[in-house]
Every structure is written in structure tokens, then in C-alpha cells.
Amino acid sequence: MNDALRVALDETGYTTESLAERVGVDPKTVGRWLSENRIPHGRHRVAAAEALGRDVGDIWPDTSRRRDPVWFRPWQEIEREAVALRSFQSVVLPGLLQTEAYARAVLTGAGTLPRADIERHVTTRLTRQGVLRRDDPPQLTAVIDEGILRRPVGGRETMRDQLLSLVTACAEPHIRVHVVPSSVGAYAGLNGPFVLATCPDHRLAGYLDNQLEGQVVSDVDDLAAIMAAWENVRGEALSHWQSVDLIREVAETWS
């Protein structure tokens, strides 16, 4: 809960609806600023603060103290506003579907973060998952390699809980998971993970990850190449419910 924003609304007489109209956003967006403590785009922060007669830093003080990687922030903004996300992962589960224990094990095992920063990154990753719990969540379609299900990240209990959590998530109408079985030979996914986001204005944006930092992709030719890779990995994968059955079956092997 953003208490500073709530107090400002109460004192000025604005509602989420009237502030949304003043700023030029949907009322649900203002509701997320309030209930989920989401940080608006810069222009919306300024417009809202002006309407409420406050300094931006009084309502969103963390914007000047953010410690998540600078290179990741543009993608976070895209992810928050996306109406659809298509993710391929070959090594670990998508961050939006990770349990806390699994996320902690992934970040610890990477060996690139100071111990003091790991919990902060776990919190950031779990907070990002709020996008899937909003009233109008994006349609998430994730394709994963079967090897992810069998890699002992964090130990047997962590893996079993993670896979059962994944099965539960797959029951949501806006979440679809497809597994590329280990029987598939060479396919486009061997070249690395990627995410495609469909923005509210129907534009596409891509995201590529590597050992140093991620890259937001907007070039038309690059997006076409990523889309072709998506069609390849999706074509090699099992159906959603076949995948759910496989995930459930592998989860029992971790008991």
C-alpha cells in the first residue's frame, strides 16, 4: 500500500477515478499505484504529483533510490504494461513463475551477486509477479525446455514445490506453459532465452538475456528473427495440458 498516495488522495478529495481522468490513465492503473505500490511512468508521476499538490519524491521516494540494474528498468516498464508475454527459457523457469525458494536458489547459484543483494533481488522478482495477479493480467505463454524440470535447483523439496506451483499457475486462464521434450534434437531454443511483449498499442518489444546484462530489442528485423525463433520453439513443444501432465509427473520424482 502506498500510504503517501492514499493520504494525498484523502486530503485533496481526489478518487482513483478522478485522478486517473486528470492524469490520463485507466482508473485500474491508479488503483495499482495505490494497492500494489507500483511506480508510474515518469510523466504520470509528475502529472499526479502536480494534481495532488505534492512533490514527486513525497509520494514515490523510492524512484531516486532504486537499486535494480539500470539496464533492466526499461524492460520492467514494458513488462508492467504488456497485454501479452511470450517467454522461452532453456535453463531456468521464467521469473514470473518462480517460487521464492527457487528464485533464491537461482540467484545464489549464479554466483554473481553479493550475498547482501540476493534477498533484494528475490523481493524484486516476486514483486514483478504482481502483473499476473492484476484485474487485467497479460496473457503469458511460456515455452520451457524439459531439462528445467529435472535440474536440481535448490534441492528436492524446492523443485517439488516449484513444479507443483507451476501446475497450479497453469490452471489460470491467462497462463499457458508448453514443454519442449528432451526427445527433441537441435531447435532454435538452443541459441538462448528470450521474451516477446505485446504492448497496449500492439507494438512488439523483445528482451534478450546474457551473463552480463539484458537487452531490450525494438528493431523490426531483430523482432522478426525473435518471432521466427518463437514459432520454432512453440512448434517443437507439447500442448499445454500434455505439458501440465509432464510437469506433474516430474514433480512426483522430486518427492
| Residue 134 in grid coordinates | 492484476
Separation between Cα atoms, residue 29 and residue 38, nearest integer Å: 9
Give φ, ψ of 110 to 5 degrees: -60, -30
Separation between Cα atoms, residue 48 and residue 43, nearest integer Å: 9
Q: What pLDDT is recorded for position 64?
A: 42
Q: What pLDDT is recorded for position 115?
A: 75
Q: What pLDDT is recorded for position 70?
A: 61
Separation between Cα atoms, residue 184 and residue 210, nearest integer Å: 24
| Residue 217 in grid coordinates | 530489442
Helix (H) or strand (E) holding 88: strand 84-89
DSSP letter (8 states) at residue 212: S
Burial category of 78 from C-beta neighbours within 10 Å (exposed 0-12, middle 13-18, buried 19 and up): buried
3 state DSSP class of 178: strand
Nearest Cα to Cα of residue 158 among 227, 202, 109 = 109
Separation between Cα atoms, residue 120 and residue 207, nearest integer Å: 22
Could you tell me which residues are beta bridge partners of residue 84?
A: 139, 198
Q: What pLDDT is recorded for position 165?
A: 97
Q: Do the strands 194-198 and 215-217 form a parallel or antiparallel pair, or are they unpaired?
A: unpaired
Nearest Cα to Cα of residue 199 among 74, 54, 50, 52 = 74
Per-residue pLDDT tens, the chain, 255 aa: give them.
788 888 888 989 999 999 999 989 888 888 888 886 677 776 787 788 888 988 777 887 755 444 556 667 788 889 999 999 999 999 999 999 999 999 999 999 876 667 777 888 888 888 889 999 988 999 999 999 999 999 999 999 999 999 999 999 999 999 999 999 999 999 999 999 999 999 999 999 999 987 667 889 999 999 999 999 999 999 999 999 999 999 999 999 999
- Helices H / strands E in the chain, number of each: 12, 6
Q: List helix spans (H) across the chain.
A: 3-12, 16-23, 27-35, 42-52, 56-59, 73-81, 100-110, 115-128, 146-150, 156-169, 220-236, 240-253
DSSP letter (8 states) at residue 38: P
CA torsion, points 155, 208, 125, 9, in degrees to nearest 10? Answer: -170
Residues in the chain: 255
